[in-house]
Amino acid sequence: LPSKLPNAGTTIFTVMSALAAEHGAVNLGQGFPDFGADPALLQAVTDAMAAGHNQYPPMTGVPALRQAVAAKLNALYGSAYDADRDITITAGGTQALFTALQCCVGTGDEVIIIEPAYDSYDPAIRLAGAVPVGVPMTADYRLDWTAVRAAVTPRTRALVLNTPHNPSGRVATEDDLRELERIAEQHDLFVISDEVYEHMVFDGERHQSVARHPGLAARSFLVGSFGKTFHVTGWKVGYVAAPAALSAAFRRLHQYTVFTVHTPTQHALAAYLAHPAPWQGLGDFYQAKRDGFRAALAGTKLRLLPCDGTYFQTVDYGAISDLPELDFAKWLTTEIGVAAIPLSVFYQRPQERRHVRFCFAKRDDTLAEAARRLRRGL
Ligand code: PMP
Ligand code: GLN
């Protein structure tokens, strides 16, 4: 059939996970934990099913979960989301991003994405008939507002922000959000704010949500995902928080895309979120993993780039090899036995850099084995 995404291949996550499995490599490619979730959360799913929560929930999501999400966002970020009007439960962050983009951009519109950009933004924008405009970050993966301003045209309709940022592991600052607010207001842009790593911020920094900035929140679709926060990426339950008019537009499409999502997990998440701040400690947990992994790689020729958030560590392998990033990631997987993700897949145009990303959401013994292989091989 003629494809609406003629240039799309197979996503890098599928490619690298398959290659890792084929070669028995330690899979630090695709971002998912190799450890279990809190047994209390798992039990809550069983309890929800036993209690009969197995039919369609309301189109917008289980009310108790929407209330828990609104309460969390408002407590953490000082926002004023209304559970009934402004929160919609989605099939993971991916569907939230997709539907948000479909409802705010259309044919001929331009959407600014910050490169390296998570790989689902570009196809979602193209499927909406719009044009993704890639704006590079600075050399050390900071947001480059001069470049963003230069990319704005009369056709620019929206910008996709991602903080903490996949793949670089950097986090936006308060000044970044203020600058974004100025640009968005000046050019009347929608903001799609991908905050799925909101609870993974290190070294005492705090997450800069669009929800902290009323001017931004008023024009933003804030996207979150429970998969990241509670170590259940396969549940595919997330949410979008947006003011009434934006949420109404979102729900108009959502009702005919998935209608609603899996009931028992929504009840379980609502019950779990009733515990005091169950995300607390997640930042420290991943910071310890980051520190252990970085220390274990110190004996290699990999240059470790800064990592302020997410569960990704990006490295520069220029001192080891001149292979392009995809070739190096494949070589690392098949010859050294550790899978990684090449950053080149997160750009529209070829890059000169020599950077790959490792996921450290892994058991300590998994990370130790990966580091042992890297130390031995590099
Ligand atoms: N945004 C980013 C930046 C991600 O890394 C991911 C997946 N890890 C998603 C969105 C999608 O989240 P979900 O798995 O909940 O669809
Ligand atoms: N978001 C995850 C990552 O960046 C993977 C998600 C997926 O497999 N599509 O690794």
Q: Is 166 in the pocket of ligand 2 (CB under 6 A)?
A: yes
Ligand 2, atom 8, residue with closest C-alpha: 13
Q: Which CATH architecture has domain 12-30+281-377?
A: Alpha-Beta Complex (3.90)
Which residues in the chain belong to E strands, given as ranges? 26-27, 87-90, 110-115, 131-136, 156-162, 190-194, 220-225, 238-241, 303-304, 312-316, 338-339, 341-342, 355-359
Substitution candidate for ligand 1 out of 88, 89, 94, 163 with most atoms within 8 A of CB? 94
371 and 336 Cβ atoms separated by less than 8 Å: no
- Span 51-78, pLDDT tens digits: 999 999 999 999 999 999 999 999 999 9
Give the right CATH number for 55-273 from 3.40.50.2000, 3.40.50.300, 3.50.50.60, 3.40.640.10. 3.40.640.10
Question: Does the fold of domain 55-273 match that of domain 12-30+281-377?
Answer: no
Domains of the chain, by residue range, sit at: 12-30+281-377, 55-273
Q: C-alpha angle with apex 88: 85 to 90, nearest 5 degrees? A: 175
Whether the per-residue pLDDT at 46 is higher than 90: the answer is: yes
* Look-up of token digits 């890792």: 20
- Calculate the dihedral angle through the C-alpha atoms of 199, 201, 206, 208, rounding to the nearest 10 degrees: -70
271 and 68 Cβ atoms separated by less than 8 Å: no
- Could you tell me the distance, in angstroms and rounded to a whole number, from the CA of residue 196 to the centre of ligand 1? 6
- Could you tell me the distance, in angstroms and rounded to a whole number, from the CA of residue 362 to the centre of ligand 2? 14
- Span 20-43, pLDDT tens digits: 999 999 999 999 999 999 999 999
Separation between Cα atoms, residue 193 and residue 163, nearest integer Å: 8
Whether the per-residue pLDDT at 7 is higher than 90: the answer is: no
- Could you tell me the distance, in angstroms and rounded to a whole number, from the CA of residue 253 to the centre of ligand 2? 24
- Span 241-268, pLDDT tens digits: 999 999 999 999 999 999 999 999 999 9
Substitution candidate for ligand 1 out of 16, 95, 171, 196 with most atoms within 8 A of CB? 196
Whether the per-residue pLDDT at 299 is higher than 90: the answer is: no
Q: Is 166 in the pocket of ligand 1 (CB under 6 A)?
A: yes
25, two tokens: 């490599």
Q: From the centroid of its chain, how far is CA 206?
A: 17
